[in-house]
Structure 1
């Protein structure tokens, strides 16, 4: 696979694009990440620079590559060869992305077969639309057994504003997607969780699915159930919310659901949907450095010669690592295992049919 990864912290957008995209001639696909501030300018400059490429971007808390983690920096991946790809956007994702499902069909139908493929998507965050987006994309992808992988855009971590862009157009209520066929090998997916289950299991019994609120666990007020499990009271629950997310159990899999806040009537609001009668478990922090070491070891063993990887590392994890002075080391450590990669940090992660939080997902192209 012929590609280049570059970065620039130049303030002038033209200089930044020139530096970050140096050496790229006519890429089939350009992916880029930056902070919110320069994002619109980078979008415009990249479109002027590569008018014939598919260009897809998302705002982020930090950009990642094997050299480290970078904030307020433009990070660019350009793939010249070794893939076939087609992309488009879903609009009005907070209301009815299904209106645009024919755009997914059109892209999928351009391929002659569906081996070694992935649909990569970037969605705007903070509008609770990820599940609508996933059901729209998967209504087409699942028929062809095409896996889905991606993330919600990020910002400084203050829930201010997130944006994505596609081919020179910036959007804040949309999902950009590109369906990629790796012409040189398979694509493997990894999902890493740095939390472990406690002994506290609940069943959701009264739920507002669309607004991501659980009012009752086991027919009792949700916040009271949580407070009891954490050995505190509802008035002190806030300080536990970041460190003790919930796991939603589906079969033998568990997906992290991040706490948002205690609502009125002692409900709990989350950053991903919880459905009625969902089996939930209270999670607690694991030894994350050990977990990351094991993930890196597993990827290295299973894909000894990766050509390129794309990573989504949750914003909450990134903030935790930064607070512990570990963010840069984490980015380098992943590079030692998976080689060349590009990554970003946003408000949610998506893999196949599931939207979840506080997780790292990686697509490794062989």
Structure 2
């Protein structure tokens, strides 16, 4: 596998791109992450410099690599050999991504075979498009047994504006995807939760799926049910919104659903869809350093010699680690399992059919 990961904190976009892409000659695929301000300039400059490369980018709260976590920098990964890849974009992602389904089929059809292939996608955040984009992608990927992982774009945590880019063009309502076939081995996907279940379980009985609002749990006002479980009042719920997300239970799996707000008439709005009759559990923080060390152990056991890795570490986790003074250490410690890697932090994570929050997702390439 021939690739390079570079970064730059230079303020001039041209200088930053030159520094971050130093040593790259003819990459098949470029992934880049940066803060919002210079993102459009980076998008143009990178594509101008590498006209024949597939280029996907996203705005992020922080970029991650083995050297640490970087908030006001450009991070770039360029892969020159060892992969086969095809990419495209689904537009109108919040309403009609299905109109662009042929773009997925065309990419899949170009692959010689789908062995050791994964789909990496980046979705526009803050417009509730993730579930529609996933349904569209998976309608094709599933028929070809191609797993999917990815994340929603990020910003400084103010939820004002996020962007993604594909081949030199910036989008605010789209999902960019790339099929990556590893010619040198397998690809393993991981998902890490740093929250654990309490003994409070609910069933969603009245929901507005599209707007991600639950009005009732067990036929009672949702906010009242959650407040009682936390031993507080509806007015007092706000201070628990970040620390006590909910888990959506599907079979033996649990996916974190982040709280957004208490709505009028005692509903609860979320950052991922909850469906009618969803089984939900109230979560509480686990010992995250212990959880992370267990993840590192597991990845090392499964893939002793990774080529490279791609990580999505939720914005909420990144803010928590930053508050605890642990963000940089976290980024560095992950490299002991992931090897040389690149990562970003946004408003949601995706794995196969599920969109969720407050989670870390990793793809490790042998």
Q: CA deviation at 1:272?
A: 0.2
Distance in 2 between residues matched to 1:329 and 1:85, nearest whole Å: 32
- 1:159 equivalent to 2:159? Answer yes
Unaligned regions of 5+ residues in structure 1, if any? none
Query: CA deviation digits over 1:205-262, x for unaligned, max 9?
Result: 0000000000000000000000000000000100100000000000000000000000
Distance in 2 between residues matched to 1:175 and 1:29, nearest whole Å: 17
Q: Secondary structure at the match of 2:236?
A: helix
Q: CA deviation at 1:197?
A: 0.3
Distance in 2 between residues matched to 1:112 and 1:170, nearest whole Å: 30
Q: CA deviation at 1:141?
A: 0.2
| Superposition map of 1:293-312 within 5 A | 293-312=293-312
| Superposition map of 1:56-95 within 5 A | 56-95=56-95
Distance in 1 between residues matched to 2:95 and 2:111, nearest whole Å: 29
Name the counterpart of 1:334. Answer: 334
State the TM-score, normalized to the length of structure 2.
1.00
Distance in 2 between residues matched to 1:132 and 1:286, nearest whole Å: 31
Q: Secondary structure at the match of 1:234?
A: coil
| Superposition map of 1:231-242 within 5 A | 231-242=231-242
Q: CA deviation at 1:145?
A: 0.4
Q: Secondary structure at the match of 1:102?
A: helix
Count of aligned residue pairs for this structure pair? 366
Q: Secondary structure at the match of 1:3?
A: strand
- 1:11 equivalent to 2:21? Answer no
Q: Secondary structure at the match of 2:122?
A: strand
Q: Secondary structure at the match of 2:260?
A: strand
Name the counterpart of 1:104. Answer: 104
Backbone CA RMSD of aligned residues = 0.4
Name the counterpart of 1:175. Answer: 175
Distance in 2 between residues matched to 1:162 and 1:365, nearest whole Å: 28
Q: CA deviation at 1:336?
A: 1.6
Q: Secondary structure at the match of 2:36?
A: coil
Q: Secondary structure at the match of 1:64?
A: strand
Q: Secondary structure at the match of 2:25?
A: coil
| Superposition map of 1:237-252 within 5 A | 237-252=237-252
Q: Secondary structure at the match of 2:27?
A: coil
Q: Secondary structure at the match of 1:332?
A: helix
Query: CA deviation digits over 1:310-348, x for unaligned, max 9?
Result: 000000000000000000000000012221100000000
Q: CA deviation at 1:112?
A: 1.6
Distance in 1 between residues matched to 2:339 and 2:104, nearest whole Å: 31
Distance in 2 between residues matched to 1:109 and 1:337, nearest whole Å: 33
Q: CA deviation at 1:42?
A: 0.2
Distance in 1 between residues matched to 2:165 and 2:358, nearest whole Å: 24
Distance in 2 between residues matched to 1:9 and 1:273, nearest whole Å: 37
Distance in 1 between residues matched to 2:343 and 2:257, nearest whole Å: 21
Name the counterpart of 2:319. Answer: 319
Distance in 2 between residues matched to 1:215 and 1:6, nearest whole Å: 47
Distance in 2 between residues matched to 1:276 and 1:7, nearest whole Å: 45
Name the counterpart of 1:123. Answer: 123
Unaligned regions of 5+ residues in structure 2, if any? none
Name the counterpart of 1:278. Answer: 278
Q: Secondary structure at the match of 1:256?
A: strand
